[in-house]
Amino acid sequence: MPTLARRLRQNKLFELVFTVAIAIGLAICVQAYAVKPYRIPSGSMEPTLSIGQRVLVDRLSHRLGSSPSVGDVVVFHPPTGADDEICGNRETGVGTNTPCAMPVPRAAKQNFIKRVVGVGGDRIAVVDGHAVRNGRRENDPYAAPCGSGPDCNFPHPIVVPHGYVFVMGDNRGESDDSRFWGPVPVAWVIGRAFASYWPPDRLGTL
């Protein structure tokens, strides 16, 4: 028959194993449904985010129905063909003076990270790489200069459809974004990046 001391040790061991199991389960749930780490794959968000930098993405708020706001940095699925700058409305986008008005109807499996510069109902144009929202140029101290080339100027505005967001990289001269392949359906947004955790010298909120 087990002694009292042995039963106590067994109970403490069970409690420890049970606690660790619960902690691991909670961590997996948090990563799957609430917070997800994301590695920056390109320089399209410089100087805000550098290649290899790691950020935390809030997935839960979006799952609970929160919509992105102007200024948010979001992770999302781009439309199929985004790498080739394919616009769903061929009369707008590359080679015109108008930003792409509509994406192709299918989302790609890859993830992009950009900044929201317009939401449903906003009139958006782009002048010298700056988003012009409802006739007013954005306050964008985070943006790198773009220049005066055709990729930086789409002066004829479009209206962002309701249920969509217009996104641009902070590195306006080196970003593949809504200018070329259109607004993104809110349903394709994964979540908002809210903090940087690596490297240590870039630790902080976004």
Return the active site residues. 44, 114
Find how far residue 33's CA is from the centre of its chain.
16
Locate the DSSP E strands across the chain: 35-39, 54-58, 73-76, 112-119, 123-127, 130-133, 136-137, 154-159, 164-168, 184-185, 189-198, 204-205
Pairing verdict, β 130-133 and 184-185: unpaired
Pairing verdict, β 73-76 and 189-198: antiparallel
Three-state SS for 77-100 is: CCECCHHHCCCCCCCCCCCCCCCC
Query: Which 3 state secondary structure label does DSSP give 157?
Result: strand
Query: Which 3 state secondary structure label does DSSP give 124?
Result: strand
